[in-house]
Amino acid sequence: MNPLDNKENSAGEFSYSGLGDIVFMKAEKFIDTVLNWSRGWSLWPVTFGTSCCAIEMMTFGATKVDADRMGVLFVGDSPRQSDLILVSGTITKKMARRLLNVYEQMPSPKYVIAVGACNISGGLYHDSYNTIAGIDRIMPVDVYIPGCPPRPEQFQDAVRVLRKLIQQNEIKRYAKQSS
């Protein structure tokens, strides 16, 4: 389901489908919903910038677009206290191991945003001997940001989409872990 044309929740994008019928839920789903509601508001990112897209990612954290007000605090830069990884930049084959190493250190409810054409399909380097043609070959990806490089506003939009997916319990990978 594309969250952007979700007509059922017509109260606008700042409503949470889960909260409306909280009374009739199973306890397990209730816990998930409440947890996911809170997770969506504090996505601390690991900033995995390797090339040009990283410059736009820095702008995303800077004053004009200001990721902080969306709960995306560029403070930790340690994978062990983060729950979102922003993979921005070309991932070479040598870097793939390091990327997975960082990803595996993150504690479990973790979300991935693939930034730029390079991370979607390889982009300019899709036919090269030394790039991973799309990081979804090596790790699960929740939100893709198209562009070469994408504008900082698109990062903002991606975080909004990701938050919505989380709060609507659309990301199933961690559903079992709360039971």
Partner 1 sequence: MPSKVVDALKDSFKDNVTVLSDNGVEDVIVLSDKKLLKEAAKLIKKIHDIVFLITVVDRNPTFEIGYVFSNYVDKSILNLRVNIMQDDLSIDSITSVFPSADWEEREAYDMFGIKFNGHPSLKRILLPEDWPGHPLRKDFKVTDDVRNWTGLDLKF
Residues that bind ligand SF4 (CB under 6 A): 51-53, 89-90, 116-118, 123-124, 148-149
38, exposed or middle or buried, with CB in 10 Å at 0-12, 13-18, 19+?
Answer: exposed
The answer to whether residue 94 forms part of the interface with partner 1 (CB under 8 A) is: yes
Nearest distance, CB of residue 58 and ligand SF4, angstroms:
13
Binds 34: which of partner 1, ligand SF4, none (CB < 5-8 Å by kind): none
- Cα gap 83→25, rounded to integer Å: 26
Per DSSP, the chain holds a count of helices (H) and strands (E) of: 6, 4
Beta strands in 1-124 (DSSP E): 45-49, 84-88, 111-115
C-beta atoms surrounding 61 within 10 Å: 19
Nearest distance, CB of residue 73 and partner 1, angstroms:
30
Nearest distance, CB of residue 64 and partner 1, angstroms:
37
The answer to whether residue 69 forms part of the interface with partner 1 (CB under 8 A) is: no
Q: Which range in 16-24, 53-61, 71-79, 124-132 contacts partner 1 by CB under 8 A?
A: 124-132
Q: Pull the structure tokens for residue 51.
A: 């090339």
Residues interacting with partner 1, by CB under 8 A? 93-94, 96-97, 100, 127-130, 132-133, 137-138, 140
